[in-house]
Each structure stands twice: as C-alpha cells, then as structure tokens.
Structure 1
Amino acid sequence: MRHAGRLLGVLALAVLCLQLWFAGRIALMNWVAPQSTSFQRSEVLRLAKEKHQVAWAQQWVDDDQLPRTLKRAVIASEDDSFATHGGVDWDALKGAWAKNEKAQARAEARKAKAPAKVVGGSTITQQLAKNLFLSGERTLLRKGQELIITLMLEGLLSKQRILEIYLNSVEWGEGLFGAQAAARHYFRMDASRLGSFEAARLAVMLPAPKRYERQPGSPYIMDRAGLIAGRMNSAQLP
C-alpha cells in the first residue's frame, strides 16, 4: 500500500509539474510569440518523412497589422461567441455532441463505419490549445488536457492576444501557416490589405485547409464566403 501510495504521489507531482510548465509557457506568450506549435512540428516531421522536403511559409504579423476584416471573418465562421465565452462554448459543444451521436447511430443502422470525428464545436481558444501543445489523437485524456490548457489561455492571456497567436499559427494549407503566408499565397497581397471577401474565403478554409487549398475558388468556398461576408459586421471583436 505504501508503495502504491508513493507511486500515486509521484504521478500527481508529475501531472502538477506538467500543468505548471504549460502555465509558464502560456504566461510568457504575453511578451514572446511562440516560435512553433506542436502541430507545426508534427507537420515538419510528416513532410520530411513523406516528401523528403519541407516547403514552409510563415511570417508573424503583429495584432495592429492583422485586418479587422480577417478577425471578423474568422470569428463569424469559427466561433461567433469568441469575445464573450470563457474558452468553451458549452451550447455549441452539446450541439456538436448530439449531431455526432445521430451520425454514429445512422452509421450503426446502416452497418457502416462510424464517423471518425467524435466531438466538434471547438472554440478558437480550444483550437489554439490543441495546436500549441497537444497531439491530434482523439481521446478523453487529451480532451481533458485541452480543456485545462484552454482555461489557462483564457486566464493568462487577453482575448486579443489569443486571436493574434491563433491567426499567426493556424494552418491554411500544407506547410502554410498564419494569415500573412495565406494572404501572400492565395491573393498575392499582405494580410493587412485583405478585403472582406478575401478574408471570408480564408476563414471558410480553416476547418479543412489541406482539402480546400486544392480548389480555393470552388463553388462551395465562394458561396460559403458570401454567407460569412454577410455575417461579418455582426461579429463581435474582443
């Protein structure tokens, strides 16, 4: 029993140290931008292994050079309550869970393979938490750690800083990260010059950038971008 107690104590201490390490890294981001994310590093390894080369584009743009058009478009498309929630949009999460349950039930009824996605409805802060520090595996343990990091981000950084880091590190295509690289790649302009429709097109790509980059001007992208552009004025900025 003593041995088991010691093991549990060591495990608890290790978990606590890990959380303190996450908190320290996040607090530092108030002044120092992250040089890379866990997701980016995994992409480097994947590209090196699969293609034997790493084509990479990323350039940090400070918050005052990120256009309001892009901020509004991303919030309208990805997380319309970003400015007001505490990191997790519980209503959206419950809605996504119910939708996934229905999709799984339909798959079981057809004796088909269950959909890969287990839970959706992630906020911008949750997406940043996952990309910064975690792997892409879908387990309850990883989701729990994601929630803790999400709350740390919300507690230690301002909403403006969270959005700034997100827009500078999020994937917009294979080896393509951040708003500046995306604006240069798709529109041959700096991010600061993005108009409403260009910003909306980039925002629409975020759920599946590797898929959408093959046809960035597809009818779906254009139609969806029109809808997002129409909602941008009501998007609340932090």
Structure 2
Amino acid sequence: MGAERSNHKADTGLESPRPRRWRWKLLLWLPLLFVAGSVLQVAVLRFVDPPMSTVMLLRYGEALGEGDWSYRLHYQWRDLDQMAPSLPISLVAAEDQRFPQHNGFDLKAIEKARDHNARGGRLRGASTISQQVAKNLFLWQGRSWVRKGLEVWYTLLIETLWPKSRILEMYANIAEFGDGIYGAQAAARQYWNKDAARLTPAESARLAAVLPAPRRYNAAKPGPYVQRRAAWIQRQARQLGGAGYLGED
C-alpha cells in the first residue's frame, strides 16, 4: 500500500507541502538575516578599521582581469587625529559643505542638482560624504535601483551607528586619490613622500580637488582644472571657518 501511495503521488505530480513551506520560510528569513548582518557589519566597523573596501577589492580584480599583474593597491590607515587638520575640512568644502548638519542626505543639494540637471549641460550629483562612504565601503560601482536602495540603507545605518567624526575618518581613508591610491596617508606618501599629518593646506586642497576623477587628475602635478578647483576649495574652507567648522563630535 505504501508503495502504491508513493507511485500515485509520482503519477499525479503531487508534492509534499513540507519542502514548499521550508522555501517560504527561507524567503522570509533572508531579509531578516540581511538586516541583522548589515547592522552588525556597520556596528563593528565603528570601532574596527577595515583592511580594505569593496571598491578596492573590485578594482584589484578588474586590474588582474585585464592582465595587469603588476597592479598594486596603496592603502595605509590613519586616524583622523593623525592627519593634517586642513585635510578633513578640505574634503568637506569640496564634497559636502553641509556635512555636520544633515543626517546622511542633503535635500537642498539634491533639489539644486535636480534643477541644474533639468536645464541641461554637465550633470551634477548630490551625494553626501556619508553616501560615498556607503558606496565605497560596502557596494559596487554602477547604476541600478538595487544598488541605490542598498546605498540608502547603508547610509542610514552609518549615520545612526557612527559619529560624524568616524564617517569623515572613514572617507579620508578609503577615498581614491589616484589609480590604486586609497586614503590620505597613501596619497601623501605616493605624491609628496610625507605623512598625512604633514600635508599643507594647499596639498590637502589638491587631494580634495581630484576626487571627481582621481584616475584622470594628479594632485602632485596639477593641471589648470585642479589648480583652479584647489584654490576654490581653500577659499570655501576659510569661509566655512576652517577646521573649527567640524567641531568635536
């Protein structure tokens, strides 16, 4: 009789509901596991310095995929108090002047960028430093709704679990300042053979000036664009109030 029942199920295409229930449970648990895992990930990185970022790892894989076996990543972590005070304020002046005030998303900058782009011409972005940390540290390059959604999620986590000083410290360490050159310390060593603590205001401004296209521009040998932008960044940093604008977190 048991064999007959099994044959009957096979013949009629009936399947036990138990495997289906497990599949549904798995689908329900996956989002919860992702939420818990990402929260833990961000919480740990508040105190632990990352050995590398996702962008670094992907760039290294890209170079090897192109057959560039000599490619090297230059990355040396430095705490914020081991960097020249002119560097953090230069980054804020260049990339996100409302960084101390917003909660991860600068709605005013988004509105201005949208109006500017609607008029045509060169596209303008409105990503905050917090968003850029989320993209560089956890995600991949490109445009898709999935990646944008993850960027929003990680930005919210970063702003919730980290102080502003940690966000800025992370950005100064994982931002790309040249092909394979990540972070202010590696950039200072590669370009001027000095530590990030000894960067001058002009050098800090030049590093911030190349961020829109770090593989195209060179902070050590600045062309007209980098020179103009670096001068503008220094003026903006002074108008914001210098390093004191960032305050103590």
Normalised by the size of structure 1, how large is the TM-score? 0.86
Structure (1 or 2) with the larger CA radius of gyration:
2
After superposition, the CA RMSD in angstroms is 2.3
Does the alignment pair 1:74 with 2:91?
yes
Q: What pairs with 1:76-155 in structure 2 (closer than 5 Å)?
A: 76-103=93-120, 120-155=125-160
TM superposition shift of 1:148 = 0.9
TM superposition shift of 1:137 = 2.1
2:209 corresponds to which of 201, 204, 221: 204
The percent identity for this pair of structures is 36
Q: Is the 8 A contact 2:210 2:219 kept in 1?
A: no
Does the alignment pair 1:59 with 2:72?
no
**Match of residue 164 from structure 2:** 159
Code of the aligned partner of 2:246: L
Q: Is the 8 A contact 2:210 2:217 kept in 1?
A: yes
Structure 1: runs of 5 or more not aligned: 107-114
Structure 2: runs of 5 or more not aligned: 1-16
Task: Find the residue that maps to 1:172 and give its secondary structure.
Answer: strand
**Match of residue 20 from structure 1:** 36
Moved more, 173-182 or 227-236: 227-236
Between the aligned partners of 1:175 and 1:190, the Cα distance in structure 2 is 18
CA change 1:10–1:100 in 2 (3 A) is: farther
TM superposition shift of 1:4 = 9.2
Moved more, 182-191 or 141-150: 182-191
Higher relative contact order (CA 8 A, sep 6+): 1
Normalised by the size of structure 2, how large is the TM-score? 0.83
Between the aligned partners of 2:133 and 2:94, the Cα distance in structure 1 is 16
Q: What pairs with 1:170-189 in structure 2 (closer than 5 Å)?
A: 170-189=175-194
Give CA-to-partner distance per residue, 1:184-231, whole Å, 9 cap, x none. 122222110111111001001111100113984101111111111111
Task: Find the residue that maps to 1:211 and give its secondary structure.
Answer: coil
TM superposition shift of 1:66 = 1.6
CA change 1:4–1:97 in 2 (3 A) is: farther
Between the aligned partners of 2:173 and 2:148, the Cα distance in structure 1 is 23
CA change 1:12–1:87 in 2 (3 A) is: farther
CA change 1:215–1:101 in 2 (3 A) is: farther
Between the aligned partners of 2:174 and 2:58, the Cα distance in structure 1 is 14
**Match of residue 14 from structure 2:** none
1:230 corresponds to which of 225, 230, 235: 235
**Match of residue 111 from structure 1:** none
CA change 1:214–1:164 in 2 (3 A) is: closer
**Match of residue 112 from structure 1:** none
Between the aligned partners of 1:135 and 1:11, the Cα distance in structure 2 is 24
**Match of residue 29 from structure 1:** 45
